[in-house]
Structure 1
Amino acid sequence: MTQTPSLPAAARIGRVALRIADLDELTDFYRTVVGLSVLSRSETEATLGVDGTPLLVLQADTDATPRDPAQAGLFHTAFLVPSRAALGAALERVRAAGALEGASDHDVSEALYLTDPEGNGVEIYRDKPADVWPRADDGSIRMRTLPLDLDTIAAAFDGAADAPADTTVGHVHLETTDLDAARSFYADTLGLRVQMAGQGALFTSIGGYHHHVGVNAWNGRSEPAGGQGLEWFEFVVPDESTIVDLREVLSATEIDDGIELTDPDEIGIHLRVA
């Protein structure tokens, strides 16, 4: 039975951290194609975001091996832009780089799909108004994968060169070795609501959103996460008392700006105060 939710309705996804090999190449990709700004940079790490807000941390580690095809990890990081005009600007950048791999209308959102130079999946999307999201009788979200009219998206392009200031990481989508274990962790332990489940995938959220964490078993991963790729992602919570409560419930480890735990696939999860 699902426990009382551990994460409050005001929680959201914060930063995503990737362990990578080529810091220059990956920084350039997320700057010019995704449209993020470089907020800080050292020889081994770059933080990118919008309007001073960090969204992505790139950690260079030349000793890390490439992610094995059997390993769990990242399916994609999903950057949420605030409007169709912003999605049109993203489409312009992605097409200019020759990076567009797919595009879908999910009833709740319009999404572009691409892959960074080291094989990490990326989604750039905009939400449709929440009052038109299809819902089941119990209030959960129904999503489909339909063709996206790219001509309509392109026509909305407003000439902006970069992602707008209110861009966020809307969700992360993971690849798991065990969908039942992932459901137990994200729904029963962290308290996210299961919005959709079936066909080898699970979509969970906080506060009625269509999904903050997606998990799938489509590619038959059989080993824990490791090597290059997703290092951790974070939930941002509204106050310190939430962190104190979660530390008790989750038996988490303290880190500099919050607490840390791992999911059943050894993917790191950080929690910090906004």
Structure 2
Amino acid sequence: MNDNASPAARIGAVTLAVSDLDRVLAFYRDVVGLRVRERDDDRAVLGTPVTDLLVLVHDPDAPPRPSDAAGLFHTAFLFPSRAALGDALARAREAGARITGASDHRVSEALYLRDPEGNGVELYRDRPREAWPETDDRVEMDTLPLDVESLLTDRAGEFDAAGDPAPDDTTVGHVHLEVTDLEAAEAFYVDALGFDVRQRWEAEALFVAAGGYHHHIGLNTWNRRSSPASGRGLREFEVVVSDETALDAVRSDLADAGVAFRADGDALVASAPDGVAVRVLVG
């Protein structure tokens, strides 16, 4: 682990700009199972009873994300059990949401969807850490077929209603970004922000994390994005560190790396590559 990374670092809330607040809110409430914690005409905050996980900012004038623009690949919501992931599948089917993919990544099982404005969404559960395949501090993830129907079988004994909300300990497990330059992304997220490299997929994808997790941030160039993030979609995401000492270390290393950042209350907002804002705070 890099000296400047907090071993307890995790992903906090993700902020998206959306044109149809009501429609997008309904998706994350009814399919993902998040609760609406705050709502006004211009903004909605969703999460668990005690934690903000998603902020939707109403921006009706924002154009669709250009086809060549970097930005969000998916926001990944981590459920605490296989049964809870099965319940999420039942919610998705009941709401008429289309599952666009389903994968066994060896460390996790995942379902993939898109929200009404095209933002990627992953719903997943982790396997126990002792079952993760690892070699020399690197995790060996893969993309294998997932038996989707077995999720419903495991769900049946624990849940009665597909419309039940997600469990209270649901989190944003990771964010996955589409970037224009993988080397520049690594320089920011690893060298400056302090995450460890956990896996490389040739020269096209990188997975980084703190505390030995399989990945808190995924980075890829698979779709050959060539311009900064713009239009609707990702505005910022949070990296939550354990204490003020860790935050001070991030502040120092961002400055040493020449990364632009600003103070916003008790948080630091850093300018990541491709026009993505990363808010670092203690939590």
Shorter-chain TM-score range? over 0.9
- Find out whether 1:224 has 2:228 as its counterpart: yes
Aligned amino acid, residue 271 of structure 2: T
Q: TM-score, normalised by structure 2?
A: 0.93
From 7, 10, 23, give the equivalent of 1:9: 7
Counterpart of 1:154 in 2: which secondary structure?
helix
**1:59-78 aligned within 5 A:** 59-78=57-76
The residue correspondences of 1:178-197 to structure 2 (distance < 5 A) are 178-197=181-200
CA spacing shift, 1:196–1:245, aligned 2, 3 Å: closer
Aligned ranges 1:72-87 → 2 under 5 Å = 72-87=70-85
Percent of paired sites with the same residue? 52
Unpaired runs of at least 5, structure 1: none
Whole-Å separation in 1 of the counterparts to 2:185 and 2:61 = 29
Task: Encode CA deviations 1:161-200: one digit per residue, 9 max, x unaligned.
Answer: 1110000000000000011111121111112111111241
What is the aligned partner in structure 2 of residue 90 from structure 1?
88
Q: How does 1:20-169 map to 2 (within 5 A)?
A: 20-96=18-94, 97-136=96-135, 138-157=136-155, 158-159=159-160, 161-169=164-172
Q: TM-score, normalised by structure 1?
A: 0.96
User: How far 1:232 moved relative to its partner?
Assistant: 0.4
In structure 1, the residue matched to 2:244 is: 240
> Counterparts of 1:20 and 1:6 in 2: how far apart (Å)?
34
Match of 2:173 in 1: 170
The separation in 2 between residues aligned to 1:4 and 1:149, in whole angstroms, is 37
Q: Which amino acid aligns with 1:135?
A: E
Q: List runs of 5+ in structure 2 lacking aligned partners.
A: 256-260
Contact 2:2 2:196 in 1 (8 A): no
CA gap 1:5/1:49 in 2 versus in 1, 3 angstroms = same
Contact 1:110 1:127 in 2 (8 A): yes
Structure 1 residue ranges, 4+ long, deviating more than 6 angstroms after superposition: none
Q: Secondary structure at the match of 2:246?
A: helix
8 Å CA contact retained: 1:192, 1:204: yes
Residues 109 and 127 in structure 1, CA contact (< 8 A), matched pair in contact too: yes
Q: Which whole-Å CA distance do the structure 1 matches of 2:271 and 2:13 have between them?
A: 16
Name the counterpart of 2:270.
261
Across the aligned residues of Structure 1 and Structure 2, the Cα RMSD in angstroms comes to 1.3
